[in-house]
């Protein structure tokens, strides 16, 4: 029979863990709200970029830019993996890493040269364990990636791509659709496949306006393509940050609920153990009293 | 058509929407020179340069420092997309001068490094002249 004292100890431990997971859930919720606000504020910029791109395409321009051209033989491929610095966030990291590992396997099969860049401690330790060398590691992107930091990274990517050091850039991250749905995804960043977003409505309206381009449409195109790329990369980072908080929130909610269930179970067990202990003590006393007579 | 008498100005950076208000007059630098916008301007898309954005509203004037980007004029609304925009008062002359000197002395070997160096020099020079003027 389980000793009542042992059960009490365990019960206390579970209660403590519940307190911790509950607090983590609350923290993740607060951080999620902040990250969400940032992401929605950033949306205005991407939308406007898409609008101007739409305006440009309405102006009958042939889109040609080094960042848009697909190269015939892709020799070197850069893969950027966005994971979190901290764990305890459910399947968030494993989802991204599964995508990344699949991609790496494919690339290895086709004997491509690989440049691997990882953001987040979780991803770094995963690749270390896997025995894969990472070329660059970042741990400074927390739940609030700033545009300045991403800009630095993006400028380096553009430089690498235009100089021909890499022929394709892929990113593995978690895309945020809604609070209930996020999905790990592998996306090609460069060459840019599709500049205009699926907002056809904006483009329809743009057709109606006859713009004057200063200094000329070519020059604007030259500048807007890198800007669109930067905005896209920034969106990846923001999405990843929001998804991480959501994943942690849900994981911690599950943990708290499980702890609650366990507390219930353990209290029932404890009460039973206590009662049977009292019963046996009573019967011992009665037995002793009977023996004295 | 009745001529509009105000501009709906929006200034957005990748991180946030900085300004969203009614303005009477705008002045900002394009890549090849200063431009002023009054209500009823023809539709336009342009590249921004480095320099000062002056917004005159009914309440007064706001001065911002913008560093590259785009402008879109469409009907009554004017949108400025820029990577960086700060209040001019946020900069201190001493700090700008320090980073200006750092940029001048920085070694730049690759074309990429040279272009960032040139950009930093231009930016800080412009900023210095603006700060000294005011």
CA distance to partner chain A, nearest, from residue B15 (Å): 5
Tell me, yes or no, whether B1 lies in a domain: no
* Domain count of the fold of chain B: 2
Return the C-alpha torsion angle A107, A110, A111, A116, nearest 10: -10
Nearest CB to B72; choose among A41, A44, A52: A52
The β-bridge relationship of strands B61-74 and B85-87 is antiparallel
Using CA atoms, how far apart are residues B59 and B39, in angstroms rounded to an integer?
Answer: 17
- In this structure, what are the phi and psi dihedrals at residue A68, rounded to the nearest 5 degrees? -95, -15
Residue spans of beta strands (DSSP E) within B1-134: 7-12, 17-23, 25-30, 33-37, 44-56, 61-74, 77-82, 85-87
Q: What is the pLDDT of residue A132?
A: 87
Same domain, B36 and B76: yes
Question: What is the side-by-side order of every strand in the sheet holding A113-119?
Answer: A136-138, A113-119, A76-82, A168-178, A181-190
Task: Say whether both B118 and B63 belong to one domain.
Answer: no
Q: How far is A47 from chain B, CA to nearest CA, in Å?
A: 10
Do both B45 and B109 map to the same domain? Answer: no
| Residue A197, pLDDT above cutoff 70 | no
User: Could you identify the residue written with the tokens 């610095």?
Assistant: A85
Domain end among B88, B108, B124: B88
**pLDDT tens-digit profile of A91-135?**
999 999 999 999 999 988 887 788 899 999 999 999 999 888 889
Tell me, yes or no, whether B107 and B84 share the same domain: no
- All structural domains of chain A, each given as residue ranges with its CATH number in brackets, are 1-194+218-293 (3.40.1380.10)
Residues of B in Cβ contact (< 8 Å) with A51? 72
- Residues B73 and B122 both lie in one domain: no
Q: Do B78 and B20 share a structural domain?
A: yes
In a domain, B110, yes or no: yes
Residue B77 lies in a domain: yes
ipTM of the complex: 0.81
Residue ranges making up the domain that contains B99: 91-133
Provide the 10 A C-beta neighbour count for residue B43: 15
Q: What is the pLDDT of residues A243-271, one digit of tens each?
A: 999 999 999 999 999 999 999 999 999 99
Among chain B residues, CA nearest to A41? B16
Q: In sequence order, what DSSP letters do the residues of A87-119 get, joined into one string?
A: --STTHHHHHHHHHHHHHHHHHHTT-EEEEEEE
Q: What is the pLDDT of residue A201?
A: 45
**Which of B12, B44, B75 has its CB closest to that of A48?**
B12
The verdict on residue B22 lying in a domain is yes
d(CA A95, CA A92): 6
Could you tell me if B75 and B36 lie in one domain?
Answer: yes
Helix (H) or strand (E) holding B10: strand B7-12
- Is A207 a residue whose pLDDT tops 60? no
What is the percent of chain A where pLDDT is above 70?
93
Q: Are residues B68 and B47 in the same domain?
A: yes
Query: Which residue among B17, B72, B110 sits closest to A41, beta carbon to beta carbon?
Result: B17
Q: Is the pLDDT of residue B112 over 80?
A: no
Give the Cα separation of B126 and B120 in Å (integer): 10
- Decide: helix, strand or coil at residue A39: helix
Chain B, nearest residue to A40 by Cα:
B16
| Domain shared by B53 and B96, yes or no | no
Domain membership flag for residue B13: yes
Residues of A within 8 A of B72 (CB-CB) are 48, 51-52, 55
Are B17 and B76 found together in one domain? yes
Which of A55, A151, A234 is facing B45, going by the closest CB pair?
Answer: A55
**Cβ of A42 and B15 within 8 Å?**
yes
């Amino acid at each position: 029979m389980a000793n009542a004292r042992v059960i009490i100890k365990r019960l206390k431990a579970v209660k403590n863990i519940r307190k911790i997971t509950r607090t983590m859930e609350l923290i993740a919720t607060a951080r999620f709200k902040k990250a969400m606000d940032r992401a929605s504020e950033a949306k205005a910029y991407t939308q406007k970029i898409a609008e101007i791109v739409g305006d440009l395409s309405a102006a009958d321009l042939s889109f040609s830019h080094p960042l848009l051209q697909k190269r015939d033989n892709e020799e070197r491929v850069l893969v950027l993996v966005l994971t979190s610095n901290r764990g305890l966030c459910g399947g968030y990291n494993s989802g991204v890493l599964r995508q990344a590992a699949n991609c790496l396997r494919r690339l290895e099969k086709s004997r491509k040269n690989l440049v691997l860049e990882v953001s987040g401690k979780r991803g770094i330790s995963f690749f270390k364990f896997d025995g894969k060398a990472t070329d660059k590691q970042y741990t400074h992107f927390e739940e609030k990636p700033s545009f300045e930091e991403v800009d630095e990274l993006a400028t380096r990517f553009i430089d690498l791509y235009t100089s021909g050091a890499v022929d394709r850039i892929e990113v593995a991250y978690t895309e945020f659709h809604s609070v209930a749905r996020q999905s790990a995804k592998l996306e090609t960043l460069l060459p840019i496949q599709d500049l205009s977003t699926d907002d056809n409505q904006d483009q329809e309206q743009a057709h109606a306006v006859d713009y004057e381009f200063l200094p000329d449409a070519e020059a604007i195109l030259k500048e807007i393509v890198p800007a669109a790329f930067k905005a896209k990369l920034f969106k990846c980072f923001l999405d990843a940050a929001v998804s991480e908080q959501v994943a942690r929130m849900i994981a911690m909610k599950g943990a708290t609920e499980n702890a609650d269930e366990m507390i219930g179970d353990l209290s029932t067990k404890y009460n039973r153990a206590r009662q049977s202990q009292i019963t046996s003590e009573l019967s011992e006393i009665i037995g002793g009293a009977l023996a004295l007579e | 058509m009745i001529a509009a008498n105000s501009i709906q100005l929006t200034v957005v950076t990748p991180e946030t929407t900085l300004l969203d208000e009614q303005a009477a007059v705008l002045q900002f630098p394009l890549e090849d020179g200063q431009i002023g916008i009054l209500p009823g301007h023809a539709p336009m898309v342009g590249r921004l340069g480095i320099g000062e954005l002056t917004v005159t509203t009914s309440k007064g004037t706001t001065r911002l420092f913008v560093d590259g980007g785009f402008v879109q004029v469409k009907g009554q609304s004017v949108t400025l997309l820029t990577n960086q925009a700060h209040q001019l008062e946020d900069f201190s002359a001493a700090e700008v001068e320090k980073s200006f000197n750092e940029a001048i002395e920085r070694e730049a070997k690759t074309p990429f490094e040279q272009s960032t160096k040139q950009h930093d020099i231009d930016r800080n020079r412009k900023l210095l002249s603006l700060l000294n003027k005011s």
